[in-house]
Structure 1
Amino acid sequence: MKKKTAVLVCVTGQRDCDRLIKAGRKIADREGLSVQVLCVLPIQAGSKDCSEELEHLRQTARDADAEMTVFFHDDPALMAVGFVKQIGAVHIVTGMAEAPVNGFVDVIHNLLPKIPIAMVGKDGTVYNLLPESNRTPVVQALA
Protein backbone atom coordinates (compact mmCIF):
# COMPACT_ATOMS: atom_id res chain seq x y z
CA MET A 1 0.00 0.00 0.00
CA LYS A 2 1.42 3.37 -1.05
CA LYS A 3 1.87 5.98 1.67
CA LYS A 4 -0.17 9.11 1.23
CA THR A 5 1.58 12.44 1.21
CA ALA A 6 0.65 15.24 3.54
CA VAL A 7 1.64 18.40 5.28
CA LEU A 8 2.17 17.69 8.97
CA VAL A 9 1.29 20.55 11.30
CA CYS A 10 2.84 20.17 14.76
CA VAL A 11 0.92 22.02 17.46
CA THR A 12 1.15 22.32 21.21
CA GLY A 13 -1.94 22.46 23.39
CA GLN A 14 -2.09 26.25 23.02
CA ARG A 15 -5.08 27.99 21.47
CA ASP A 16 -2.97 30.27 19.25
CA CYS A 17 -1.58 27.24 17.37
CA ASP A 18 -4.60 27.63 15.11
CA ARG A 19 -2.39 29.91 13.00
CA LEU A 20 -0.16 26.90 12.30
CA ILE A 21 -3.08 24.84 11.05
CA LYS A 22 -4.19 27.68 8.75
CA ALA A 23 -0.64 28.05 7.38
CA GLY A 24 -0.44 24.29 6.86
CA ARG A 25 -3.71 24.36 4.93
CA LYS A 26 -2.31 27.08 2.61
CA ILE A 27 0.84 25.05 1.95
CA ALA A 28 -1.21 21.90 1.35
CA ASP A 29 -3.51 23.72 -1.08
CA ARG A 30 -0.52 25.12 -2.96
CA GLU A 31 1.10 21.67 -3.22
CA GLY A 32 -2.03 19.55 -3.65
CA LEU A 33 -1.57 17.66 -0.36
CA SER A 34 -3.72 16.67 2.59
CA VAL A 35 -3.16 18.07 6.09
CA GLN A 36 -2.52 16.16 9.30
CA VAL A 37 -2.29 17.90 12.68
CA LEU A 38 -0.21 16.38 15.48
CA CYS A 39 -0.15 17.42 19.13
CA VAL A 40 2.31 15.66 21.43
CA LEU A 41 1.82 16.58 25.07
CA PRO A 42 3.99 15.50 28.03
CA ILE A 43 2.75 12.34 29.75
CA GLN A 44 1.90 14.26 32.92
CA ALA A 45 -0.30 16.63 30.88
CA GLY A 46 -2.76 13.77 30.58
CA SER A 47 -3.93 14.57 34.08
CA LYS A 48 -4.28 18.30 33.47
CA ASP A 49 -7.33 19.88 31.91
CA CYS A 50 -6.36 21.20 28.48
CA SER A 51 -9.55 20.05 26.83
CA GLU A 52 -10.79 23.53 25.83
CA GLU A 53 -7.59 24.33 23.93
CA LEU A 54 -7.48 20.90 22.29
CA GLU A 55 -11.13 21.14 21.30
CA HIS A 56 -10.48 24.56 19.74
CA LEU A 57 -7.55 23.13 17.77
CA ARG A 58 -9.57 20.05 16.77
CA GLN A 59 -12.32 22.30 15.45
CA THR A 60 -9.77 24.45 13.57
CA ALA A 61 -8.30 21.27 12.08
CA ARG A 62 -11.75 20.06 11.05
CA ASP A 63 -12.50 23.43 9.45
CA ALA A 64 -9.23 23.05 7.51
CA ASP A 65 -10.28 19.55 6.37
CA ALA A 66 -7.49 18.00 8.45
CA GLU A 67 -7.25 15.08 10.84
CA MET A 68 -5.86 15.77 14.31
CA THR A 69 -3.97 13.22 16.38
CA VAL A 70 -2.96 13.70 20.03
CA PHE A 71 -0.25 11.65 21.74
CA PHE A 72 1.03 11.82 25.31
CA HIS A 73 4.80 11.31 25.28
CA ASP A 74 7.83 13.04 26.81
CA ASP A 75 9.81 13.27 23.55
CA PRO A 76 7.64 15.21 21.10
CA ALA A 77 10.31 15.52 18.41
CA LEU A 78 10.86 11.76 18.15
CA MET A 79 7.10 11.15 18.15
CA ALA A 80 6.73 13.71 15.35
CA VAL A 81 9.49 12.05 13.30
CA GLY A 82 7.78 8.67 13.66
CA PHE A 83 4.44 10.20 12.67
CA VAL A 84 6.01 11.89 9.62
CA LYS A 85 7.20 8.48 8.44
CA GLN A 86 3.87 6.84 9.23
CA ILE A 87 1.77 9.29 7.20
CA GLY A 88 4.33 10.01 4.48
CA ALA A 89 4.53 13.73 5.22
CA VAL A 90 6.54 15.78 2.73
CA HIS A 91 6.33 19.15 4.52
CA ILE A 92 6.24 20.07 8.23
CA VAL A 93 4.76 23.18 9.85
CA THR A 94 5.70 24.27 13.39
CA GLY A 95 5.67 27.41 15.50
CA MET A 96 8.76 29.51 16.12
CA ALA A 97 10.83 28.43 19.09
CA GLU A 98 10.92 30.92 21.93
CA ALA A 99 13.72 31.18 24.47
CA PRO A 100 14.81 28.81 25.78
CA VAL A 101 14.94 26.84 22.57
CA ASN A 102 13.85 23.25 23.18
CA GLY A 103 15.51 21.77 20.08
CA PHE A 104 12.27 20.41 18.57
CA VAL A 105 12.94 21.76 15.07
CA ASP A 106 16.65 20.89 15.23
CA VAL A 107 15.91 17.27 16.10
CA ILE A 108 13.35 16.94 13.31
CA HIS A 109 15.61 18.64 10.78
CA ASN A 110 18.59 16.45 11.75
CA LEU A 111 16.55 13.23 11.51
CA LEU A 112 14.59 14.25 8.41
CA PRO A 113 16.96 16.59 6.54
CA LYS A 114 15.18 16.25 3.18
CA ILE A 115 11.81 17.50 4.44
CA PRO A 116 11.17 21.25 4.38
CA ILE A 117 10.02 22.82 7.64
CA ALA A 118 7.89 25.98 7.76
CA MET A 119 8.07 27.82 11.09
CA VAL A 120 5.24 30.27 11.70
CA GLY A 121 5.86 33.27 13.93
CA LYS A 122 3.25 34.81 16.22
CA ASP A 123 2.71 37.54 13.61
CA GLY A 124 2.04 34.95 10.88
CA THR A 125 5.41 35.33 9.15
CA VAL A 126 6.60 31.99 7.77
CA TYR A 127 10.28 31.08 7.92
CA ASN A 128 11.27 28.08 5.80
CA LEU A 129 14.06 25.69 6.62
CA LEU A 130 14.69 24.09 3.25
CA PRO A 131 16.83 21.02 2.59
CA GLU A 132 19.02 22.76 0.00
CA SER A 133 19.41 25.91 2.07
CA ASN A 134 21.90 24.30 4.46
CA ARG A 135 19.92 25.53 7.49
CA THR A 136 19.63 29.13 6.28
CA PRO A 137 16.07 30.31 7.01
CA VAL A 138 14.13 31.94 4.20
CA VAL A 139 11.32 34.38 5.01
CA GLN A 140 8.21 33.86 2.92
CA ALA A 141 4.78 35.40 3.33
CA LEU A 142 1.81 33.10 2.77
CA ALA A 143 -0.91 35.33 1.42
Structure 2
Amino acid sequence: MSKPFNISTDFDNYNKYISATIVCVTDQINCERIIKRGREIADKTKTNLYVINVDNGSKRDIAAIEHLFHVSKEYNAVMNIFYNNQVLDTLVNCVHEYHAVNIVSGMPQTVNSILNKLWVMMPQIDYYMIGLEGDVTVISSKKAAINQ
Protein backbone atom coordinates (compact mmCIF):
# COMPACT_ATOMS: atom_id res chain seq x y z
CA MET A 1 0.00 0.00 0.00
CA SER A 2 1.45 3.36 -0.98
CA LYS A 3 1.75 6.20 1.48
CA PRO A 4 -0.39 9.30 0.88
CA PHE A 5 1.61 12.38 0.05
CA ASN A 6 1.09 16.08 0.57
CA ILE A 7 1.88 18.70 -1.99
CA SER A 8 3.80 21.41 -0.19
CA THR A 9 3.63 25.08 -1.09
CA ASP A 10 5.13 28.21 0.40
CA PHE A 11 1.74 28.91 1.95
CA ASP A 12 1.14 25.69 3.92
CA ASN A 13 1.52 27.54 7.20
CA TYR A 14 0.13 30.82 5.94
CA ASN A 15 -2.80 31.25 8.32
CA LYS A 16 -0.72 33.02 10.93
CA TYR A 17 -3.63 35.20 12.10
CA ILE A 18 -7.33 34.62 12.59
CA SER A 19 -8.45 37.53 10.39
CA ALA A 20 -7.55 38.61 6.88
CA THR A 21 -7.03 41.54 4.60
CA ILE A 22 -8.35 40.97 1.07
CA VAL A 23 -6.84 42.86 -1.85
CA CYS A 24 -9.13 42.99 -4.89
CA VAL A 25 -7.32 43.26 -8.22
CA THR A 26 -8.28 43.35 -11.86
CA ASP A 27 -6.06 42.21 -14.72
CA GLN A 28 -4.06 45.45 -14.83
CA ILE A 29 -0.35 45.76 -14.09
CA ASN A 30 -0.95 48.93 -12.05
CA CYS A 31 -2.81 46.85 -9.43
CA GLU A 32 0.68 46.16 -8.08
CA ARG A 33 0.35 49.33 -5.97
CA ILE A 34 -2.77 47.89 -4.32
CA ILE A 35 -0.95 44.70 -3.32
CA LYS A 36 1.94 46.70 -1.85
CA ARG A 37 -0.40 48.87 0.23
CA GLY A 38 -2.38 45.76 1.17
CA ARG A 39 0.78 44.28 2.68
CA GLU A 40 1.26 47.43 4.81
CA ILE A 41 -2.34 47.30 6.01
CA ALA A 42 -2.16 43.57 6.75
CA ASP A 43 1.03 44.06 8.76
CA LYS A 44 -0.41 46.95 10.77
CA THR A 45 -3.68 45.12 11.46
CA LYS A 46 -1.97 41.75 12.06
CA THR A 47 -3.99 39.93 9.42
CA ASN A 48 -3.28 37.37 6.69
CA LEU A 49 -3.08 38.83 3.18
CA TYR A 50 -5.09 37.41 0.27
CA VAL A 51 -5.16 38.82 -3.25
CA ILE A 52 -8.40 38.07 -5.09
CA ASN A 53 -9.16 38.30 -8.79
CA VAL A 54 -12.57 37.32 -10.14
CA ASP A 55 -12.64 36.28 -13.79
CA ASN A 56 -16.15 36.84 -15.12
CA GLY A 57 -15.36 35.51 -18.58
CA SER A 58 -14.33 38.75 -20.28
CA LYS A 59 -11.11 39.09 -22.26
CA ARG A 60 -8.14 39.17 -19.89
CA ASP A 61 -4.55 40.37 -19.84
CA ILE A 62 -2.83 37.10 -18.91
CA ALA A 63 0.60 38.75 -18.64
CA ALA A 64 -0.79 41.22 -16.07
CA ILE A 65 -2.36 38.41 -14.03
CA GLU A 66 0.94 36.51 -14.07
CA HIS A 67 2.79 39.67 -12.99
CA LEU A 68 0.34 40.22 -10.10
CA PHE A 69 0.77 36.60 -9.04
CA HIS A 70 4.54 37.16 -8.76
CA VAL A 71 4.05 40.46 -6.91
CA SER A 72 1.67 38.69 -4.50
CA LYS A 73 4.24 36.03 -3.81
CA GLU A 74 6.95 38.68 -3.32
CA TYR A 75 4.76 40.41 -0.71
CA ASN A 76 3.91 37.13 1.03
CA ALA A 77 0.28 37.08 -0.08
CA VAL A 78 -1.82 34.21 -1.36
CA MET A 79 -3.39 35.06 -4.73
CA ASN A 80 -6.58 33.31 -5.78
CA ILE A 81 -8.35 33.59 -9.10
CA PHE A 82 -12.04 32.74 -9.06
CA TYR A 83 -13.94 31.97 -12.26
CA ASN A 84 -17.47 33.23 -11.71
CA ASN A 85 -19.91 35.64 -13.34
CA GLN A 86 -21.24 36.58 -9.91
CA VAL A 87 -18.38 38.86 -8.84
CA LEU A 88 -20.18 40.37 -5.82
CA ASP A 89 -21.25 36.97 -4.49
CA THR A 90 -17.70 35.68 -4.91
CA LEU A 91 -16.27 38.60 -2.93
CA VAL A 92 -18.84 38.16 -0.15
CA ASN A 93 -17.96 34.46 0.06
CA CYS A 94 -14.26 35.33 0.30
CA VAL A 95 -14.93 37.80 3.12
CA HIS A 96 -16.66 35.04 5.07
CA GLU A 97 -14.23 32.25 4.19
CA TYR A 98 -11.09 34.26 5.01
CA HIS A 99 -12.59 36.11 8.01
CA ALA A 100 -11.76 39.41 6.36
CA VAL A 101 -11.74 42.61 8.38
CA ASN A 102 -10.14 44.77 5.65
CA ILE A 103 -10.67 45.08 1.91
CA VAL A 104 -8.14 46.94 -0.22
CA SER A 105 -8.94 47.95 -3.79
CA GLY A 106 -8.56 50.62 -6.40
CA MET A 107 -11.01 53.51 -6.55
CA PRO A 108 -14.56 52.65 -7.65
CA GLN A 109 -15.22 53.96 -11.15
CA THR A 110 -19.00 54.40 -10.86
CA VAL A 111 -21.65 54.75 -8.16
CA ASN A 112 -22.99 51.34 -9.25
CA SER A 113 -19.65 49.61 -8.78
CA ILE A 114 -19.37 46.31 -7.00
CA LEU A 115 -17.37 48.03 -4.24
CA ASN A 116 -20.23 50.41 -3.49
CA LYS A 117 -22.59 47.45 -3.23
CA LEU A 118 -20.15 45.63 -0.97
CA TRP A 119 -19.92 48.67 1.36
CA VAL A 120 -23.68 48.61 1.80
CA MET A 121 -23.84 44.84 2.33
CA MET A 122 -20.88 44.63 4.71
CA PRO A 123 -20.43 47.87 6.65
CA GLN A 124 -18.44 46.12 9.40
CA ILE A 125 -15.41 45.82 7.06
CA ASP A 126 -12.75 48.53 6.78
CA TYR A 127 -12.29 49.53 3.12
CA TYR A 128 -9.07 51.04 1.81
CA MET A 129 -9.10 52.48 -1.70
CA ILE A 130 -5.73 53.08 -3.28
CA GLY A 131 -5.42 55.89 -5.83
CA LEU A 132 -3.12 55.78 -8.84
CA GLU A 133 -0.42 57.65 -6.89
CA GLY A 134 -0.71 55.28 -3.92
CA ASP A 135 -2.81 57.63 -1.79
CA VAL A 136 -5.25 55.90 0.56
CA THR A 137 -8.92 56.69 1.16
CA VAL A 138 -10.49 54.84 4.08
CA ILE A 139 -14.12 53.95 4.67
CA SER A 140 -14.30 52.47 8.13
CA SER A 141 -16.80 51.56 10.78
CA LYS A 142 -13.93 51.79 13.26
CA LYS A 143 -10.65 53.68 13.55
CA ALA A 144 -8.40 53.38 10.46
CA ALA A 145 -5.35 51.20 10.89
CA ILE A 146 -2.86 53.24 8.90
CA ASN A 147 -1.82 56.85 8.82
CA GLN A 148 -2.57 58.60 5.61
Range into which the TM-score falls when normalised by the shorter chain: 0.7 to 0.9
Displacement of 1:65 after TM fit?
0.3
| Aligned equivalent of 1:33 | 47
The equivalent of 1:55 in structure 2 is 66
* Structure 2: tracts of 5 or more residues without a match: 1-16
Higher-Rg member (1/2) = 2
Q: Any conservation in 2 of the 1:126–1:141 contact (CA below 8 Å)?
A: no
1:123 corresponding residue in structure 2: 133
What SS is found at the alignment partner of 2:82? Answer: strand
- 1:32 maps to a residue whose letter is K
* 8 A contact 2:54–2:83 mirrored in 1: yes
Distance 1:142 1:59, change over 3 A: farther
1:36-115 matched pairs, under 5 angstroms:
36-45=50-59, 50-98=61-109, 100-115=110-125
Question: How many angstroms apart in 1 are the aligned matches of 2:80 and 2:41?
Answer: 19
Whichever residue aligns with residue 66 of structure 1, its letter is A
Structure 1 residues 4 and 141, CA gap change in structure 2 (3 angstroms): closer
Paired amino acid for 2:115: V
Deviation of 1:81 (Å): 1.0
TM-score scaled by length of structure 1: 0.82
Name the CA distance, whole Å, in 1 between partners of 2:123 and 2:145: 20
C-alpha displacement of 1:44: 3.7
The structure richer in helix per residue is 1
- Specify the alignment match of 1:9 in structure 2: 23
The residue identity in structure 1 corresponding to 2:127 is I
Residues 1:69 and 1:50: Cα distance change in structure 2 (over 3 Å): same
Distance 1:66-1:85 versus aligned 2 partners, 3 A rule: same
* 1:142–1:56 CA distance, 2 compared to 1 (3 A): farther
Contact 1:126–1:140 (CA under 8 A) maintained in structure 2? no
Q: Give the gaps of 5 or more residues in structure 1.
A: 134-138
Amino acid at match of 1:18: E
- Percent identity between matched residues is 30
Count residues with an aligned counterpart.
132
Supply the RMSD in Å over aligned alpha carbons. Answer: 2.3
Shift, 1:121, TM fit: 0.6
